[in-house]
Amino acid sequence: MRLSRYFMPILKENPKEAEIVSHRLMLRTGMIRQQSQGIYSWLPLGKRVLDKVNAIIREEQNRAGAIELLMPTLQSADLWKESGRYDAYGKEMLRITDRQERPMLYGPTNEEMVTDIFRSYVKSYKDLPLNLYHIQLKFRDEIRPRFGTMRSREFLMKDAYSFDLTREGAEHSYNKMFAAYLRTFSRLGLRAIPMRADTGPIGGNLSHEFIILADTGESEVFCHKDFVNFDIPAADTDFDDVDGLKAIFDKWTSVYAATSEMHDAPAFEAIPEGERLSARGIEVGHIFYFGTKYSEPMGAKVQGPDGKEHFVHMGSYGIGPTRLVPAIIEASHDENGIIWPASVAPFDAVVINMKAGDAACDSACERIYGALRNAGTDVLYDDTDDRAGTKFATADLIGVPVQVIAGPRGVANGEIELKDRKTGARETMTIEAAINKLTA
């Protein structure tokens, strides 16, 4: 992408309304724009990151055997009356009346709708286990949306829903998502810690939040320092291996970790002081087992091997991609801007032409830009006539992992400079060597 043809409105000033660093950096880099209170557009740079986050979430859901569909945003109130949540949900639910005067709502979550889909088609235990997920917009009419897309009203959520014949089956489904979440957050460059959590309005009796540590976190969290060294499940994890997944779950729940709601101070203080971690965290995922809470009132049952009908045991599993993006920034930035993990960077590399209009610089940059594009690299080419200093600042601000810097002096010797955004390390090399290195 040539920057001269791109739409990346960098703000020169720090926006006053931003209270936390991710919100400030997302506004400054032109990743997002607030359209109404707590409702955001994802501008092109932000959209790229969001797409990469979604792609990783999707790959790991699929790997764990979950199947993607797409449920609509608007739901009928009738469904929610069946589960009893229509009245219980309160003012966060955006209630809507259509032109036929039918009561509707903008889905804040999809337990009811997916249970309705399930009961319409699935009649036998032979079709279980089943895990259906979608990545779809949700709306929760928070009284005080804040921190940009960290806590917005319209937001994207990946929500998966598992269906099993028995509680034991449901626990295995839960462990699949538990392992998938560990892999997902790790691939996003985050170390997430699963913590026993309150189930809130979703209900049920087994639930974990996945929390990443950050000073700006909304939650107070307490855990054992050992988490930092636990192994992430491998890419070839066998998700059908009941005992293997149980072992992963047991390992990751073997030492103390809790949010303030579930905090057990004496248990925490029993940990040697040097091994205790008390910090603030950001919730980036939440998983629930809630048994037959929805299947019973909504009549979602299957015929079992015993010939009798059984209400299915369900769980739900959420990750908020529009919240993950700022969470990644909170975890990875410096005073000059964002430092994207390579897996979600909007571009893999940025080519900086220090003197656009100079024939040798232009030619060197075009050559590099063309070669990287042909190799399938996502590359941004800063071909604008801004000053070199402005270009360096922008490249640091937007946090692309590798900067390829071409100036008149180097280019005269057939050389450019590679800069690693994270370490700041610079290396001079021939154009050919740079192309080889970046397309290897």
Cα distance between residue 170 and residue 128, in whole Å: 10
> Looking at beta carbons only, is 113 or 211 nearer to a copy of itself?
113
By the rule CB under 8 A, 69 interacts with a copy of itself: yes
Residue 127 C-beta: closest distance to a copy of itself, Å: 8
By the rule CB under 8 A, 358 interacts with a copy of itself: no
By the rule CB under 8 A, 6 interacts with a copy of itself: yes
Cβ contacts of residue 43 below 8 Å, gap of 6+?
7, 8, 9, 30, 31, 32, 33
Residue 69 C-beta: closest distance to a copy of itself, Å: 5
For residue 305, what are its two tokens?
């091997």
Cβ contacts of residue 412 below 8 Å, gap of 6+?
360
Closest CA to 216 of 19, 392, 366, 16: 19
**Given candidates 12, 13, 87, 143, which one binds a copy of itself under the rule CB under 8 A?**
143
By the rule CB under 8 A, 242 interacts with a copy of itself: no
Cα distance between residue 209 and residue 232, in whole Å: 17
Over the window 83 to 122, marking each residue x when it contacts a copy of itself by CB under 8 A and - when it does not, the resulting string is --------x--x-x-xxx-x-x-x------x--xx--xxx
For residue 208, what are its two tokens?
């974990």
By the rule CB under 8 A, 41 interacts with a copy of itself: yes
By the rule CB under 8 A, 359 interacts with a copy of itself: no
By the rule CB under 8 A, 75 interacts with a copy of itself: yes
By the rule CB under 8 A, 39 interacts with a copy of itself: yes
Residue with token string 């071909």? 383
By the rule CB under 8 A, 15 interacts with a copy of itself: no
**Given candidates 73, 374, 390, 439, which one binds a copy of itself under the rule CB under 8 A?**
73
Q: 145: helix, coil or strand?
A: coil
By the rule CB under 8 A, 395 interacts with a copy of itself: no
Residue with token string 């009796």? 205
Are the CB atoms for 394 and 382 separated by under 8 Å?
yes
Residue with token string 């392992």? 179
By the rule CB under 8 A, 9 interacts with a copy of itself: yes
> Within a 10 A sphere around the Cβ of 234, how many other Cβ atoms?
9
> Looking at beta carbons only, is 102 or 426 nearer to a copy of itself?
102
Q: Could you give the count of Cα atoms lying within 13 Å of 129 in the half-sphere of its Cβ? A: 25
By the rule CB under 8 A, 374 interacts with a copy of itself: no
> Looking at beta carbons only, is 36 or 229 nearer to a copy of itself?
36
How many degrees, rounded to 5, is the angle at CA 52 between CA 24 and CA 139? Answer: 65
By the rule CB under 8 A, 14 interacts with a copy of itself: no
Q: Could you give the count of Cα atoms lying within 13 Å of 276 in the half-sphere of its Cβ? A: 13
Q: Which residues in the 45-64 window bind a copy of itself by CB under 8 A? A: 46-47, 50
Q: 377: helix, coil or strand?
A: coil
Strand 313-319, strand 276-291: pairing: antiparallel
Containing H/E element for 27?
helix 21-28
Residue 43 C-beta: closest distance to a copy of itself, Å: 5
Q: Which stretch binds a copy of itself (CB under 8 A): 139-147, 175-183, 227-235, 272-280?
A: 139-147
> Looking at beta carbons only, is 6 or 230 nearer to a copy of itself?
6
Q: Which residues in the 266-325 window bind a copy of itself by CB under 8 A? A: none
Residue 67 C-beta: closest distance to a copy of itself, Å: 5
Cα distance between residue 432 and residue 100, in whole Å: 66
- Site of interaction with a copy of itself (CB under 8 A): 5-7, 9, 30, 33, 35-37, 39-44, 46-47, 50, 65, 67-76, 91, 94, 96, 98-100, 102, 104, 106, 113, 116-117, 120-122, 130, 132, 137, 139, 141, 143, 153-154
